[in-house]
Amino acid sequence: MRPGFAGVTGVMAVMPLANVNTDAIIPSAWLRTARADFGKGLFGSQRYGADGRERPEFVLNRAPFRHAKILLADENFGCGSSREAAVWALAQFGIRCVLAPSFADIFYENAFRNGLLVAKIDAASYLALAAAVDRHGQDPIFIVDLPAGTVTGPDGARFPFAVPAARAAALIRGDDEIDMTLHHAGDIEAYHAAAAATHPWLYAGTDTAEIAP
DSSP, collapsed to helix, strand or coil, labels residue 128 as helix
For 81-120, write each residue's pLDDT tens digit.
999 999 999 999 999 999 999 999 999 999 999 999 999 9
Whether 193 shows a pLDDT value over 90: the answer reads no
Nearest of 210, 175, 211, 166 to residue 193 by alpha carbon: 211
For 7-20, write each residue's pLDDT tens digit.
999 999 999 999 99
The structural domains of the chain, with segments of one domain joined by +, span: 7-175, 183-213
pLDDT in the model for residue 212:
46
- Alpha helix (H) ranges present in the chain? 22-25, 38-41, 44-47, 85-93, 105-113, 123-135, 165-173, 177-182, 185-198
Whether 179 shows a pLDDT value over 60: the answer reads no
In CATH terms, the fold of domain 7-175 is: Aconitase; domain 4 (3.20.19)
Q: The whole model's pTM is what? A: 0.84
Give the whole-angstrom CA distance, residue 211 versus residue 213: 6
Mean pLDDT of 51-58: 96
pLDDT in the model for residue 194:
64
Nearest of 59, 32, 67 to residue 43 by alpha carbon: 59
**Residue 129 near residue 72, CB atoms below 8 Å:** yes
